[in-house]
Structure 1
Amino acid sequence: MDEIRIIIAGGGTGGHLFPAIAIGEKIQSLYKNSHIHYMGSIFGIESKVLPVKLYPHTLLPIKGIQRNFSFNSIMKNIGLPYFYLKSLSIAQELFDELLPNIVVGTGGYASAIPIKLGIKNKLPVVLQEQNSYPGLTTRVYASRANIVCTAFGEAHSYLKEAKCLLTGNPIRSNISLGLRENGAKIFKLNASLTTLFVFGGSQGSIVLNQLIEKLVNELKITNFQVLWQTGSKHYNRYKHLDSDLIRVLPFIDSMADAYALSDLIFSRSGALTISEIMAVGKASILLPFSKAAENHQYKNAKTLADYNAAVLLEERTVNSEIVYRTIKNALNNKNKLMKMGQKAKSMSKLNATENIANHIIELALA
């Protein structure tokens, strides 16, 4: 069995890093003689995650472009040429030492330099795009990549010169294996009650937390219960609201069981969140983060809403009254919940991680 050496570059946020890790782990499970080397940024979440996992990795001193015109952003952008050249030098040394067979990019500013070097060295390049509206790095390099693996068909209209394959997003392999009874036991809730699951991603969402805080009294007198992940940074502000019907937690490890317990999800609409909601086939109310780059969360949410698989709310018009009315109407209509969940499930791509990994292995061995 020939050895294959693969560079997987991506990071800055978990939305780019965790697909990279999922792909790398799947490749190694499918092809034992594979060497995976991750690349990211010293400023991204990967600087904390990769060392803990003890995966071979290189972190570049690269930052993303600041896209507003504040004084602080302008000052940060002034230093970009220096960081870029330094990162380019480090990356080139790694390429010369490792001699990779292929480069995989999962997006974010940390992936741009490795992708550029892969193309320059005439190596096969595979991009994995998580969002319905492709990120900047994907848009720049898609036409020169061998394959762009997409999560949403809507992305293809922005990548007309690229070879796109609709594969779905790499997500946790056990995410759909949770049990409602386990969820009730873990979170000390009632398995027989209708459950609203609220979360704003791993870091939590200030806006979602504030909206739910305003609704606590109304929620306590309804016939359903709430599982609420605030995010670790925000937990102390809301922990006093914990009760038998409203479970307040800083972070949830057992996401599969949390999804299984839920009947309706109220969340942001990052790419991986959307993909997990589709995989578990749950109805959802989505409130996109309005300051997400190029408004990609809105476009992700709209993809589900247009298919009647979710309800889309917007920060600029939302208030606690609208949220409460939307939640109550959904939870009091079991038929609507079921149909929304079925629609979401039908949009999910099974075996996405394995399909992407197989394409990468095939190109690496070609």
Structure 2
Amino acid sequence: MAVRRCSSSLPKWVFCSMFPASPLTRSSGGCPPQAAPKGSALWNPAPTRRAAGLCPAPTGAFAPDPEMLTHLCFACGRDGDPRAGTFRAGSPKWGRARRGSASAALRGHPQEKTYSRSNRVKSKHLLGGKPMNLYITGGGTGGHVTPGLAIARYVMEHEPGSTVRFAGTERGIESRLVPREGYPLDRIEIIGLSRKLTPQGLAHNVKAAYLTVTAVARAKKLLRAAKPDVVLGCGGYVSYPIVKAAQQMKIPTVLLEVNALPGKVTQQLAPHADRVLVCFEQTRALLGERENIRLTGAPVRPEILEADRKKARARYGLSEGDKLVVSFWGSMGALYMNRHMAGMLALEAQEGTTFRHVHASGAAAAKWLPEEVQKKGVNLAEHPNIELTEYIYDMADRMAAADLVICRAGAATIGELCALGRPSVMVPSPFVAENHQEKNARALEEAGACKVVLEPGCTPEQLLQATKELIWDDERLAGMRRAAVKLAAADPDGAIFRQLKEVTKGRA
């Protein structure tokens, strides 16, 4: 039977996901409180707070989970305790050379390039210094938002007079994070797809298809009003209508894919994008070795790049022979893994392990996790080498001081681990699209930078055994540190910025 191609804006992946069992198709492959409303005591625009030397995030606006805090609590490059509202402006050490940042393609050669502030400032003049009107879209999860925020900050620093605007959904994390950073956010109504073959799942996908088509029309209106020089898509289903509309309007588009396995949106939009920026060499092959693909790495927040291991260890009273393990989970699957962590902490105490361990439970587990450890016959007050906390507010220094990090395998986390050269035990979340976290973790494991433990079948005993096998093996840890550093890209922010400038050359 012949199938006529539809000329509408409905993407192929929407139809395939709506009817995965169709012979014509084959399916491929706790929310924080809302931010305080404008006019309330908690609302305060980020630029105003910056002018006062304060963090742009108003205290009390919302409570992120541990993974979000890892990537967002210090996104503005400030020091202090957010609980007390004392994020005072620090003095980034721009004078010394920046270390390599986010995870890049498994290059296979040592990191050599350094990037100082003087180089960063010169780049503006080398590229002409013309202000940029940048439109960024991406959302749903922090992994699709924080890279865009990092690039927005970089553009504003290097191109005075530039304007940056974001587009996202009302329900996604971007609706809270973007305004807190001081950038305007255009809202678009669109929902993700359901893979369930139930009447409810199919009805959901019919609605998703309708919203996708109407969202493209809405996106065109937003783009006509914004008149951007270039549109940067950072992933998530909300980026599809914006980038698709820009491509139809002949506006330059750049896609940033931070995961080893490209998402459906990237796969659909890549053929018509001016640039597709990737962080792993494998991603290039999975996207068909297209001419528009460039290897840049993913952005990393400044405080990670500025973290000093020696000073961080001195801050926490760690001697040369002391070992520190830092662990945290993201929002996806955190309940399940925190239960395992309760068991692991109890085993550590019962066995009398001597390494120090700091675990961030997150707000959802802050109350029950200590109680769970207590039920196992362990009083953590009697074990000062084990620290259980709701959040790790000084995550940059904690990670720099750590000998081993136990965590999920999100792209932002991987970028920071590589920038710091930290060995890790990664437990990929199985509750993510196309199991992309395992693909990320396997890329690091193949390079020798981490050990992967899969969540299905994972036990507290398995976690502790993996930790003990690594933490006392100095030679193996040193090899993992070297492997992680080799995967770090040199100045990915600058590389992405230069690609944005390149595609806008000659645009009035």
> TM class, shorter-chain normalised?
over 0.9
Instruction: Tell me what 1:336 maps to.
Output: 476
Tell me the CA shift for residue 208 of structure 1: 2.6
Structure 1, unaligned stretches of length 5 or more? none
Q: Contact conserved, 1:178 with 1:258, CA < 8 A, in 2?
A: no
In the alignment, is residue 248 of structure 1 matched against residue 388 of structure 2?
A: yes
Q: Deviations over 1:114-166 (max 9, x none)?
A: 11011101121111000011011111111111111111111011111532111
1:229 aligned partner, one-letter code:
A
Paired residue secondary structure (1:176): helix
Paired residue secondary structure (1:174): helix
Tell me the CA shift for residue 215 of structure 1: 1.8
Q: Contact conserved, 1:239 with 1:249, CA < 8 A, in 2?
A: no
Paired residue secondary structure (1:175): helix
Instruction: Tell me what 1:238 maps to.
Output: 369
Instruction: Tell me what 1:225 maps to.
Output: 356
Q: Deviations over 1:213-263 (max 9, x none)?
A: 112232121110111011222211124555421111222232210111210
In the alignment, is residue 300 of structure 1 matched against residue 428 of structure 2?
A: no
Q: How high is the TM-score relative to the length of structure 2? A: 0.68
In the alignment of these two chains, the number of paired residues is 364
Q: Distance in 2 between matches of 1:275 and 1:133?
A: 15
Instruction: Tell me what 2:239 maps to.
Output: 111
Instruction: Tell me what 1:164 maps to.
Output: 293
Instruction: Tell me what 2:454 maps to.
Output: 314
Instruction: Tell me what 1:262 maps to.
Output: 402
Percentage of identical aligned residues: 28
Most deviating of 86-95 and 166-175 = 86-95
Tell me the CA shift for residue 177 of structure 1: 2.5
Tell me the CA shift for residue 361 of structure 1: 2.0
In the alignment, is residue 35 of structure 1 matched against residue 163 of structure 2?
A: yes
Most deviating of 68-77 and 40-49 = 68-77
Q: How high is the TM-score relative to the length of structure 1? A: 0.93
Q: Deviations over 1:165-211 (max 9, x none)?
A: 1111111122032245765687xx54132111111136782233122
Paired residue secondary structure (1:201): coil
- For residues 1-366 of structure 1, the aligned pairs below 5 Å read 2-70=130-198, 72-160=200-288, 162=290, 163-180=292-309, 183=312, 190-192=317-319, 193-201=322-330, 205-220=334-349, 221-239=352-370, 243=381, 244-366=384-506
Paired residue secondary structure (2:167): strand
- Please give the root-mean-square deviation of Cα atoms over the aligned residues, in Å: 2.0
Structure 2, unaligned stretches of length 5 or more? 1-128, 374-379
Q: Distance in 2 between matches of 1:294 and 1:66?
A: 13
Q: Distance in 1 between matches of 2:235 and 2:273?
A: 13
Tell me the CA shift for residue 47 of structure 1: 0.9
2:232 aligned partner, one-letter code:
V
1:226 aligned partner, one-letter code:
H
Report the CA distance shift for 1:248/1:70 in structure 2 as closer, same or farther (over 3 A): farther
Q: Distance in 2 between matches of 1:99 and 1:176?
A: 34
- Which protein has the bigger helix share? 1
Q: Distance in 2 between matches of 1:183 and 1:75?
A: 53
Tell me the CA shift for residue 33 of structure 1: 2.7
Q: Contact conserved, 1:41 with 1:62, CA < 8 A, in 2?
A: yes
Tell me the CA shift for residue 274 of structure 1: 0.9
2:368 aligned partner, one-letter code:
R
1:253 aligned partner, one-letter code:
Y
2:407 aligned partner, one-letter code:
S
Q: Contact conserved, 1:27 with 1:361, CA < 8 A, in 2?
A: no
Most deviating of 5-14 and 354-363 = 354-363
Tell me the CA shift for residue 89 of structure 1: 3.3
Q: Contact conserved, 2:333 with 2:431, CA < 8 A, in 1?
A: no
Q: Distance in 2 between matches of 1:184 and 1:359?
A: 38
Q: Deviations over 1:297-327 (max 9, x none)?
A: 0000000111111111112232222211111
The structure whose Rg is larger is: 2
Q: Contact conserved, 2:220 with 2:246, CA < 8 A, in 1?
A: no
Q: Distance in 1 between matches of 2:314 and 2:337?
A: 25
